[in-house]
Amino acid sequence: MATATPALQTTCCIVGGGPAGMMLGYLLARDGHHVTVLEKHKDFFRDFRGDTIHPSTLELMYELGILDAFLALPHQQISAFTLAIGGEYFPIADLTHLPTHSKFVALMPQWDFLNFLASQAAKFPTFHLLMEHEVTDLIENDSHCVIGVRANTPSGPTEIHATLVVGCDGRHSISRAASGLPLHETGVPIDVLWFRLRRDETDPSNVLGNANYGTFAVLIPRDDYFQCAFLIAKDSFTTSIQPAGLPAFRACIARLVPSLADRVDEVTDWDQVKLLSVQINRLTRWHRPGLLCIGDAAHAMSPVGGIGINLAIQDAVAAARILSPVLSTSIVTELTLERIQHRRELPTRITQSFQAIVHGFLSKTLGDPAPIKPPPILRILSPHPFFRRLLARFIGMGVRPEHIQPH
């Protein structure tokens, strides 16, 4: 039986080694603060995680002086997006005019992105990444102020005490659940099925969305495969999709995207298909004494637009900028934590409202087997460069993009 290990002490304990947690840990360690990031898995390898690194995040890499090293890793680039609706093609976003050094979305497995951030952060002596440390609860003092976390490790249970705990542990956040912070849920009419299909060199790389016959799919191009996101009605996977059988599922994909008909048989088992239960929610209060939640722990995002990762990273940059001066004094007040929420809540609300609007459109198209007619507004707007640049700025830069303060 595993025995308890001695408690650790740190200035900032970050729960979760995802994009928000790793970026926040990197930035605080860069400022000289003692940071401990706890990741419950033994590595970052998790398939079907978001892997779109948007221009806003790439600009942060440039400001940190690590962009060239990052782009030296294997990746793909997309500088324009096109939608295929009812067999017609509509350009919707052109990133080549963005006011950034990288005018494209970089496609890279998230584990490569996280390993890169970890390697950069490890250059700072005050940064500590502890893998296989699964947080199970918060530690509070007699005044109900959070002063640390309890975690299970391969060596047994342990405690990490800290001036501040930051929950970055995603949409199923343990730190959020243990905090009792109030959560506002937004109804979502869709779920997503993730799977892979072979990609050939002749396949287009910028036709991401495909809608027709009551179905919608997103094809994210990787080096030799597509990471496919197939949208379905909420909770319909086990009630109608699976019972209809794999042949029907493959036929549905081939009908929607005829160019994939010669490879849909690569899906031979439901184990190759991963269900993402889509959520949109946000904490109405992101903090309590000694605890702050950011990223998906504060606001779970839909995969629409691939925005969630980049919004989480923007949270981390804002949090680091506001926290760094006060962490030096070991006094982090609720007013300081409120400033972080105030800074990042408006971008969150606007982005989630946009995603809800898209969900409304998608829910009207799902399930109707008739050929879809492209919306008239899309016919009007798509030819105009201003529209494509405006949407590119929203997707690529987000609302209120953050920047790195120079040292």
Give the model confidence (pLDDT) of 252-301 as tens digits: 999 999 999 999 999 999 999 999 888 899 999 999 999 999 999 999 99
What pTM was estimated for this model as a whole? 0.93
pLDDT at 121 over 80: yes
* Residues whose CB falls within 8 Å of the CB of residue 68, separated by 6 or more in sequence, listed in order: none
Measured CA to CA in angstroms, residue 117 lies from 34, 126, 342, 379 at distances of 17, 15, 27, 42
Do the beta carbons of residue 301 and residue 308 sit within 8 Å?
yes
Per-residue model confidence (pLDDT) at position 308: 86
The pLDDT tens digits for 14-59 are: 999 999 999 999 999 999 999 999 999 988 876 556 678 999 999 9
Give the HSE-up count for residue 82: Cα atoms under 13 Å, Cβ half-sphere.
12
Gap between the Cα atoms of 209 and 84, Å rounded: 6
Gap between the Cα atoms of 152 and 136, Å rounded: 7
φ/ψ (deg, to 5) at 290: 85, -5
First to last CA, the chain: 48
* Domain with residues 190-233+235-276, CATH architecture: 2-Layer Sandwich (3.30)
- Annotation: CATH topology of 8-76+106-186+279-362: FAD/NAD(P)-binding domain (3.50.50)
Per-residue model confidence (pLDDT) at position 3: 57
Gap between the Cα atoms of 259 and 107, Å rounded: 22
Instruction: Locate CATH 3.30.70 in the chain.
Output: 190-233+235-276
pLDDT at 339 over 80: yes
The pLDDT tens digits for 181-191 are: 999 988 888 89
- Specify the residue for token string 């959020």: 176
Nearest to 316 by CA among 131, 51, 41, 117: 117
The pLDDT tens digits for 189-244 are: 889 999 999 998 888 777 678 899 988 998 888 888 888 999 998 899 999 999 99
174 by Cβ neighbours in 10 Å (0-12 / 13-18 / 19+) ranks as buried
Instruction: Locate CATH 3.50.50.60 in the chain.
Output: 8-76+106-186+279-362
Do the beta carbons of residue 218 and residue 84 sit within 8 Å?
no
Confidence band for 1, pLDDT divided at 50, 70 and 90: very low
The pLDDT tens digits for 244-266 are: 999 999 999 999 999 999 999 99
